[in-house]
Chain A
């Protein structure tokens, strides 16, 4: 299995531009998570989906952030417009929807730099 796939691995953009991050979860997993990691705040959950449906988006910082999961094998996290404080590493993770003991598998992350 290729694991969770994220693209791009690195993104550098200018303030105000739209940024789209992509994620392909592990085949057969039906839960998907988007995280943000910074030195100051560590890992933060932004949003997670079960069976393609957003369950909790309370971690999404602002309306500038949006996430979609049109099917079981693809999700996007979009920032529009981007700001320098959005610079971070964004991780996607997937898991089986076992409510008690399932493990989340993380992708390699997308390092976003907003100038």
Chain B
């Protein structure tokens, strides 16, 4: 069973609108939680990295939040652009396991004009 669950699986929004992607995890404890953006045909690119003690981290129009008590994270995209169309993957790093990462299944976002 995947220890990192993302929702929704896919999402369509209009350009300029905001959206929020969800990530629930059961991995415990964890070192850090990351959000990656993966454009079609490309490798994942890191957007944010948060340790368990951080509640929020921003990268331009992307803001990630983390609630370690409820084991939930969200990625909020503000004023979406067509270039935001991609898959967004939530990844949790397990401590003491070298560089072992547990990947969520991703949310596929499509931004339409």
Contacts and interface: CB of A to CB of B under 8 A. Distances in A.
Contact of B98 (A44, A55, A108): A55
Interface string B18-61: 00000000000001101000000111111001010000000000
A48 interface: yes
A70 interface: no
Contacts of A48: 98-100
Interface stretch (B65-73, B74-82, B103-111): B103-111
Interface of B: 31-32, 34, 41-46, 49, 51, 89, 98-101, 103-106
A100 B31 contact: yes
Interface of A: 4, 31, 33, 42-45, 48, 50, 55-56, 91, 93, 95, 97, 99-109
Contacts, number: 55
A48 B99 CA distance: 8
A104 B31 contact: no
Contacts of B98: 31, 48, 50, 55-56, 99
B99 A103 contact: no
Given A4-B43, A103-B46, A95 B32 contact: no
Given A42-B89, A93-B43, 17 more contacts: A4-B43, A42-B106, A43-B103, A44-B103, A50-B98, A56-B100, A91-B43, A101-B49, A101-B51, A102-B99, A103-B34, A105-B46, A106-B44, A106-B45, A107-B43, A108-B42, A109-B42
Contact of A42 (B34, B99, B100, B105): B105
A44 B41 CA distance: 17
Contacts of B99: 31, 33, 48, 50, 95, 97, 99, 102, 104
